[in-house]
Structure 1
Amino acid sequence: MADVTILHNTACSTSRHALDEASVSGIEPEIVQYLKKPLTRDELLDLIEKLEDPAADLVRKDGFFKGLELNPDDYTTPSAVADLLVEHPRLMQRPVLVRGDRAIIGRPKDRVAAFLA
């Protein structure tokens, strides 16, 4: 089992940066392409529990979010965030790095190297 897991979106340059940082650090992470294999509600709740960032930060408030006419204030609790991301996995912020009982959102990019060190 890998020491680090990266929840990865191949289309995202920031997510690809996290993979590059892992390689430079000599780490072979487990790569989870969460759009191909979305996380279950329980997996999302476990991830949120480990997350050093607020649960609300796990949700991308991008054009898709706005197009769904969602209100950011409705997605601040772990339960609400998990329910939303089960329904719309593409709204998950990326990359997310997990190591043991800790997880971070890899934005801004400079957070990644510090987390992997």
Structure 2
Amino acid sequence: MSDVVIYHNPACGTSRNTLALLREKGLEPRVVEYLKEGWTRDQLQDLLQRMGQSAHDILRVRGTNADELGLTDPNASDEALIAAMIVAPVLVNRPIVVTPKGAALCRPPELVLGLL
């Protein structure tokens, strides 16, 4: 599968373990270090649609200022969360993996197996 993508943070153990698991399965995914490359609105909306999730489902709270920004409020709109994620890519939880079978936030790493 040359069309496997992992949105990766090399400082994250879960992300590193997911990448290692993909490689153990003989795959060499395209690695996108989203903290360096950032996000676009279209990209995030496409990922959310593929995952069947809302922006709240991929919001990273731990180690971020999501709470102070009011993003953990259940009434915060997906648009508000996506806008914040574009400004501060760290607000997106990781790793997100995309394969021809779908996309998922792979926490724990073994969730990636369902995409292979």
Normalised TM-score (structure 2): 0.85
Aligned residue identity for 2:25: S
Residues 84 and 103 of structure 1: CA distance in aligned 2, closer, same or farther (over 3 Å) = same
- Partners of 1:18 and 1:111 lie apart in 2 by 9
- Partners of 1:83 and 1:64 lie apart in 2 by 15
Residues 35 and 63 of structure 1: CA distance in aligned 2, closer, same or farther (over 3 Å) = closer
Q: What do you get for the CA RMSD once the two structures are aligned? A: 2.1
Equivalence for 1:41: 41
Q: Does 1:9 align with 2:9?
A: yes
Tell me, which stretches of 5 or more residues in structure 1 are unaligned? none
* Residues paired across the two proteins, number: 115
Equivalence for 2:23: 23
Runs (4+) of structure 1 exceeding 6 A deviation are: none
Percent sequence identity over matched residues? 35
- Partners of 1:23 and 1:97 lie apart in 2 by 13
Tell me, which stretches of 5 or more residues in structure 2 are unaligned? none
Q: What secondary structure is seen at the aligned counterpart in 2 of 1:103? A: strand
Q: Does 1:114 align with 2:114?
A: yes
Normalised TM-score (structure 1): 0.84
